Structure 1
């Protein structure tokens, strides 16, 4: 009897721990600050985008405009999307 109760308690504790771990396993962006400065830091600091180009993109009026300013200069799509997301999310 004691063995079954202990096993049930261990299983219940494991289920609670597993569900808590699952709930907190949402994807997290490595950069948390948003805005013009974060966009510039990411584009120029992390990927050597020309500062004038990054400035034009990060200062654009919309995410799409920012993205295409960077893409027209052959900045990789993932870099452009991440930099613009930092500026507009």
Structure 2
């Protein structure tokens, strides 16, 4: 997984953020990106999902990383709960 995560970074070492913006997750924008799992090369459902919250121009909160084969999606309510727990 580390190598697969490293592929999301450019040569400068800065993360290449993007992905789909998720709705219903709170005040700050939350995105989901898809990462290939090179250990299981069999389509989209074999990859990882990374969910992160953009707090400001320099602060990004990694909310959760999960294998698509283990969990098809994470509900917005659970994402809000994880973020709220971090803020406590």
TM over 0.5: no
Which structure is higher in strand share? 2
State the TM bucket, normalised to the shorter chain.
under 0.3
TM-score (norm 2): 0.23
TM-score (norm 1): 0.22
Higher relative contact order (CA 8 A, sep 6+): 1
Which structure is higher in helix share? 1
